[in-house]
Homo-oligomer: A and B are copies of this chain.
Amino acid sequence: MKEKILLKAQKAKEASRFIAKASTELKNKIIIRMAEYLRKSKDELIEANKLDIASAGEKGLSKALIDRLTLNEKRISEMVKGLEEIVALPDPVGEITKMWLRPNGMQVGKMRVPIGVIGVIYEARPNVTVDVTGLCIKAGNAVVLRGGSEAINSNVALVKILKEALKDEGMHEGVVTYLDIPSREAVLEMIKLEGIIDLIIPRGGEGLIRTVTENSRIPVLKHYKGVCHVFVDREADLKMAEEICFNAKVQRPATCNAMETMLVDETIAKKFLPNMLRRFQQAGVEIRGCEKTREIYPKIKDVKEEDFYREYLDLILNVKVVKDIDEAMEHIAKYGSAHSDAIVTRNYDKAMRFLREVDSSAVFVNASTRLNDGYQFGLGAEIGISTDKIHARGPMGLEELTCTKFIVFGSGQLRH
């Protein structure tokens, strides 16, 4: 197994040099060809997917997981649309982001270049196979994919199509490499291939991500969890605050950018909370409040300190009344996961302070945390969200799949 994984990864590395220097036109052609083949092969894909769904049913996997696993016409169209959007995005590779003149006459600049080989480890969703491949190719990278074993038939069928598109356009097939070895050991081998794979992006539950991060010899970009906050300042437009908080919690509670804790300035707590909490309860949200919250609105559970660290991914919400923006930011720094945090306020100074001082991958003024997303930000698709401190924070799109190198236009300059 070790041998097989190494060989596949080496082929990907070989291929990465070809895709790195491919023209934008060629990369777009490949992606368009992929989209065409997906559209044409939808019946085969749905057939392959049925095998996965059947075996998931036999294993008694959860409904939610089977839903994530399912490929249908609608989802295939979405994948096609995703690829077409990637084609429409500007090519980041070769962009000179800065250029300056030195006193000795040399022009020094920074040029965007592909990273090389990206390893992506994910779970049930087969659409990740396609989204990630499109992004990696457009950014000039080869990709080594390792999807969940429950989606193996779907992923193998998808990768077959993606590879056909590469072949049609004369591109090295190693650009898209799939590790079709279902055991967990395959992941552990893959993340040791330092010098072959350049970056690992794990997507999935916290357990998977911790295992990958703790064992990887390759740099990893990831987020463990999303413990997101909305702070309703005393100078908020309370109607706007209500809409933002409701959207952040209820619109899709199982996502990483949904709100887990609502922080409310004590000055407006009495005015704001009753309506807001009633509306949450009507939407089926279980509320866990601090003492002050329960004084104002008694019909709710008590929040425990450990609740503030939790990512519920469900219709459960912590509510805490705070003295001011400082206490709110202290709370976010202590309990948050540096994912998505928002302030609702009309006060300019507080808005700017919150933006500057809250150290999260995305910080919002007067908008819902649910908007922390590659599509919403206009990056096209995203390959994942990072809450790490280096390379990229927030949704990672094409730019985040590149790095920069220094380039120098000289005319004979020497070092003295």
> If A102-B376, A389-B116 touch, does A408 touch B365 (CB 8 Å cutoff)?
yes
Kindly identify which residue among B368, B391, B406 contacts A415, using a CB–CB cutoff of 8 Å: B368
Kindly identify which residue among B219, B359, B403 contacts A20, using a CB–CB cutoff of 8 Å: B359
A370 and B414 contacting across the interface, CB-CB below 8 Å: yes
Q: Chain B residues with Cβ under 8 A from A89's Cβ?
A: none
> If A113-B359, A410-B367 touch, does A415 touch B247 (CB 8 Å cutoff)?
yes
Q: Chain B residues with Cβ under 8 A from A376's Cβ?
A: 102, 415
A360: interface (CB < 8 Å): yes
> If A367-B106, A389-B116, A390-B391 touch, does A372 touch B251 (CB 8 Å cutoff)?
no
| Alpha-carbon separation in the docked complex, A411 to B360 (Å) | 20
Q: Chain B residues with Cβ under 8 A from A243's Cβ?
A: 412, 414
Kindly identify which residue among B115, B199, B368, B391 contacts A403, using a CB–CB cutoff of 8 Å: B391
A390 and B199 contacting across the interface, CB-CB below 8 Å: yes
Per the CB 8 Å criterion, the residue count for chain A at the interface is: 68
Contact mask for chain A residues 234-259; partner B; CB cutoff 8 A; 1 contact, 0 none: 00010010011001000110000000
Q: Chain B residues with Cβ under 8 A from A372's Cβ?
A: 406
B371 and A415 contacting across the interface, CB-CB below 8 Å: yes
> If A361-B406, A366-B410 touch, does A389 touch B115 (CB 8 Å cutoff)?
yes
A323: interface (CB < 8 Å): no
| Alpha-carbon separation in the docked complex, A377 to B408 (Å) | 9
A413: interface (CB < 8 Å): yes
Min CB distance A361 to B, Å, is: 6
A363: interface (CB < 8 Å): yes
A406 and B389 contacting across the interface, CB-CB below 8 Å: no
Q: Chain B residues with Cβ under 8 A from A333's Cβ?
A: 17
Those of A352-386 within 8 Å (CB) of chain B: 355-357, 359-368, 370-373, 376-378
> If A251-B414, A367-B412 touch, does A406 touch B390 (CB 8 Å cutoff)?
no
Q: Chain B residues with Cβ under 8 A from A237's Cβ?
A: 412
Min CB distance A164 to B, Å, is: 27
Q: Chain B residues with Cβ under 8 A from A111's Cβ?
A: 355-356
What are 20 A-B residue pairs whose CB atoms fall within 8 Å in the complex? A100-B378, A106-B371, A108-B378, A219-B390, A237-B412, A251-B416, A355-B407, A362-B405, A363-B406, A363-B408, A364-B408, A365-B407, A367-B410, A368-B414, A371-B410, A371-B413, A373-B415, A390-B390, A393-B406, A394-B405
Across the A-B interface, the 4 shortest Cβ-Cβ residue pairs: A367-B410, A370-B415, A362-B406, A247-B414
Known A-B contacts: A116-B359, A355-B407. Give 5 more (CB < 8 A): A252-B415, A361-B405, A361-B406, A367-B414, A394-B406
